[in-house]
């Protein structure tokens, strides 16, 4: 059964309401995550997507369909995060600073969900956009993902650790079948501004998945061996169920361009990363070496092909964009 820890932490022992004090931070990870997320703040409107029109016109209809519909799918999942995902986590925070971090994440999920519309408005006609949204609001395998996860978020009596698992599976695993397409094009030096938006989203999701996974691990270690074993059974069953559905989704979207197998390799690789965020062992044999090198190249472009921010107007300087490495954000580690 869920406990509403958050409710009690808002009140002092005398029943008064408690102000958040950033001078007394009980979990340093909250503070470092807040700093990282605010430092990497961005807005979709500052990326010149229209510079990608020449590349877009060179794509054939099948490839354009894939681009439009993977972004339709991503819009649905980021909508779910912005509307329900973070709200469900906020009911079970352990520190007030965790609430602040989740507030930041929730807002950025709205930026993510909106940024796909920035792409659609630039590349697609109004009729095409309507068709994409009709599709994402009805397509069975896409809706399965959203509905299964929403069901966990929406239930006030749900185990809060299961809600964290759902969050991490969504962000570190299920998004990646969609991210594959812009990364593939970026690896081929196409649609670089579209890809820039996706890389900014990916950079956020990387921190979100690590942070929420860390909070999961804090709660999980307090459970008994028996509870942990039962929980793992549920977690792996849920992952298999999502993966089976993902196979159907990927074939539906990608068979027409022949990319399904390599997209699924990428998805399995990221499913392992989701488990890693949760402090669990990998499930699938796939590693980074198995992923299409063009896509891995797309992920790491901040340092190789071109300067990611050179196309963004003056006065909008951000830190260097680069793919998160397993080692460079060990926020689950003990204090240095």
Quickly tell me which residue has 């002092």 as its tokens: 12
d(CA 82, CA 134): 20
Residue 78 CB, nearest approach to Fe ion (Å)? 4
CB closer to Fe ion out of 67 and 76: 76
- Single out the residue of 78, 158, 196, 286 in contact with Fe ion (rule: CB under 5 A): 78
CB-based contacts of 319: which residues, under 8 Å, 6+ apart?
39, 40
CB closer to Fe ion out of 66 and 102: 102
Residue 106 CB, nearest approach to Fe ion (Å)? 9
Cβ neighbour number for residue 108 with a 10 Å cutoff: 24
d(CA 255, CA 312): 35
- Single out the residue of 36, 97, 112, 215 in contact with Fe ion (rule: CB under 5 A): 112
Cβ neighbour number for residue 83 with a 10 Å cutoff: 15
Cite the DSSP H helix spans in the chain.
5-9, 28-39, 53-58, 61-80, 86-90, 96-123, 126-136, 140-154, 160-169, 176-187, 192-220, 225-254, 260-277, 293-299
CB closer to Fe ion out of 30 and 109: 109
CB closer to Fe ion out of 74 and 260: 74
d(CA 20, CA 78): 28
Residue 152 CB, nearest approach to Fe ion (Å)? 16
Handedness of CA 158, 137, 275, 298 (dihedral sign): negative
Question: Is 171 among the residues that bind Fe ion (CB under 5 A)?
Answer: yes
Question: Is 84 among the residues that bind Fe ion (CB under 5 A)?
Answer: no
d(CA 197, CA 37): 16
Question: Is 52 among the residues that bind Fe ion (CB under 5 A)?
Answer: no
User: Among 122-130, 192-200, 208-216, 245-253, which window interacts with Fe ion (CB under 5 A)?
Assistant: 208-216
For the chain, first and last CA: distance in Å?
35
How many residues of this chain bind Fe ion (CB under 5 A)? Answer: 6
Quickly tell me which residue has 């994440």 as its tokens: 105
The one catalytic residue among 7, 17, 116, 180: 116
Residue 21 CB, nearest approach to Fe ion (Å)? 27
Residue 301 CB, nearest approach to Fe ion (Å)? 20
Contact yes or no for 60/336 (Cβ under 8 A): no
Residue 74 CB, nearest approach to Fe ion (Å)? 8
- Single out the residue of 84, 205, 246, 262 in contact with Fe ion (rule: CB under 5 A): 205
**Residues 92-111, mask of contacts with Fe ion (x by CB under 5 A):** -----------------x--
For this structure, is 176 an active site residue?
no
User: Among 38-46, 70-78, 240-248, 274-282, which window interacts with Fe ion (CB under 5 A)?
Assistant: 70-78
Quickly tell me which residue has 């490839």 as its tokens: 63
CB-based contacts of 112: which residues, under 8 Å, 6+ apart?
74, 78, 81, 82, 201, 204
Residue 75 CB, nearest approach to Fe ion (Å)? 10
DSSP conformational letter for 125: -
Q: Which phi and psi angles does 270 have, rounded to 5°? A: -75, -30
CB closer to Fe ion out of 206 and 245: 206
User: Among 61-69, 112-120, 281-289, 291-299, which window interacts with Fe ion (CB under 5 A)?
Assistant: 112-120
Residues carrying an active site annotation: 116
Residues at the interface with Fe ion (CB under 5 A): 78, 109, 112, 171, 205, 208
């Amino acid at each position: 059964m869920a406990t509403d820890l958050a409710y009690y932490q808002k009140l002092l022992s005398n029943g008064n309401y408690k102000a958040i004090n950033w001078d007394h931070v009980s979990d340093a990870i909250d503070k470092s995550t807040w700093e990282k997320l605010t430092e990497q703040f961005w807005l979709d409107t500052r990326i010149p997507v229209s510079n990608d029109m020449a590349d877009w016109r060179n794509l054939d209809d099948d490839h354009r369909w894939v681009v439009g519909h993977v972004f339709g799918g991503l819009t649905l999942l980021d909508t779910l995060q912005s509307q329900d995902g973070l709200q469900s986590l906020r009911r079970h925070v352990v520190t007030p600073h965790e609430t602040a971090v989740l507030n930041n994440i929730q807002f950025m999920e709205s930026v993510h969900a909106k940024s796909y519309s920035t792409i659609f408005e630039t590349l697609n006609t109004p009729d095409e956009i309507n068709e994409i949204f009709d599709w994402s609001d009805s397509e069975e395998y896409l809706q399965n993902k959203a509905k299964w996860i929403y069901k966990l978020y929406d239930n006030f009596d749900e185990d809060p650790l299961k809600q964290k698992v759902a969050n991490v599976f969504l962000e570190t695993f299920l998004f990646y079948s969609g991210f594959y397409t812009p990364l593939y094009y970026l690896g081929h030096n196409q649609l670089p501004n579209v890809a820039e938006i996706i890389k900014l989203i990916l950079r956020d999701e990387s921190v979100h998945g690590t942070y929420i996974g860390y909070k999961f691990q804090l709660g999980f270690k307090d459970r008994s061996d028996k509870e942990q074993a039962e929980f793992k059974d549920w977690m792996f069953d849920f992952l298999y169920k999502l993966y089976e559905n993902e196979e159907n989704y990927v074939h539906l979207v990608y068979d027409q361009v022949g990319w399904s197998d390599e997209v699924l390799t990428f998805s399995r690789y990221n499913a392992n990363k989701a488990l890693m965020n949760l402090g669990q062992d990998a499930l699938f044999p796939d590693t980074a070496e198995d992923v299409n090198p063009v896509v891995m190249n797309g992920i790491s472009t901040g340092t190789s092909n071109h300067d990611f921010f050179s196309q963004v107007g003056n006065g909008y300087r951000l830190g260097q964009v680069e793919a998160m490495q397993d080692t460079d954000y060990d926020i689950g580690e003990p204090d240095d």
